[in-house]
Amino acid sequence: MKQCIKKITTFISLGLFAFSVQAKADDWPQKPITTVVPWAVGGLADQVNRAMAQFGADEFGQPIIPTNRLGAGGVVALTEYLRERPNTTKIIYGSEGNFSISPKTNKVAYKWEDFTPIMNIYTSSFVLVATPDSGIKSFEDLKNYGAEKKVLFGVNGLNGTEFLIISALLSEMGIDYEAVGFNGANEAMNATIAGDVVLAVTHASLAKEYVKANKLEALVVFDEKPLKTDVYDLPPVTEYGYDTWIVNRMMMLTRKGTDPTLVNSIRAHFLNILNNPEFIAIADNLGVNIDPVDGDALNEHVMTTIDKVERFWEMAKK
């Protein structure tokens, strides 16, 4: 009889636990959701974040408040986020570079395992662009230019993916270079248009209007496949024998220890936003490749990128 009562008690306890977890997911959020982009206002991540926030109240019953917290290419925001407790209503975005490159250039207090990935929002390829004043209109032109002159390039910070992939590429090409860090991809592109730097690396979607207007020359895409759109017809760096590419992902993260049921619930709501026809129209206008893969895929992506960064770091040091 005692054994039977013990089994019943255990069964009831498990049932109550499952109910409490589900209730927590159903009750979340009890206040507005804050989504933090750790990069500059006006950048691609910022534009997408603000577009998604428009649908927050309808989807969650609470508004989404989009914010930006700049500093060291995301290191400051991600470090501050460690103060958050599991199940927080503050969500932060990050990229693979924050967990693979930033630890190489900064003393960071966080690691990938401090976060729980909710989902990916978009995937983006980086393109290499040149100022028209340089006379560089192709990858071959870049080789010839670099054989005679030092290449000055601009990127969004000196501890991100853009910095590493172009540094590794130019190092492998035997080209002397100097990097200039800017507070945002738009600033780097503006400096390139003005001729203050010769090259820049940025998202294809951010550069397309400048390329279309002939204010920038697009040379190559940092990918393993070509980039063919109504604006671009670019070969990948792999076509020239270089594997210095990393695909960028805008990952939605929460604090480690957040209830898995809640993570799944948050993901389901944001998937609804991504599938909203109004949001799809905005994303198409931005030229964004919406790619909502789950946490398992993001774990694999980050681990693969960490391995790549180890190789690229050695290339860039040569």
Assign 128 a pLDDT band (cuts: 50, 70, 90).
very high
The mean pLDDT value for 7-25 works out to 50
The CATH number of 31-123+248-314 is 3.40.190.150
User: Half-sphere exposure (CA, 13 Å, Cβ side) for 246?
Assistant: 34
Percentage of the chain beyond pLDDT 70 is 92
pLDDT 10s digits, 48-67: 999 999 999 999 999 999 99
The pLDDT of residue 254 is above 50: yes
How distant, in Å, are the alpha carbons of 85, 257, 299 from that of 271?
24, 22, 19
Mean pLDDT of 105-119: 95
**CATH 3.40.190.10, applies to 126-246:** yes
Average pLDDT in the 90-119 region? 95
**pLDDT category, 18, cuts 50, 70, 90?**
very low
Is residue 192 predicted with pLDDT exceeding 50?
A: yes
> What is the reported pLDDT for 24?
59
On the question of pLDDT at 133 being above 50, the answer is: yes
Rg (CA), the chain: 22
> Using N-to-C axis directions, what is the helix angle for 161-173 and 139-148, rounded to 10°?
70
Fold: same for 31-123+248-314 and 126-246:
yes
Q: Which of 10-24, 60-74, 96-110, 220-234 has the lowest mean pLDDT?
A: 10-24
Confidence class of residue 6 from pLDDT cuts 50, 70 and 90?
A: low
> pTM for the complete prediction?
0.84
Which token pair is 303? 């681990």
Task: Show me where the domains of the chain are located.
Answer: 31-123+248-314, 126-246
**Bridge partners, residue 134, by sequence:** none
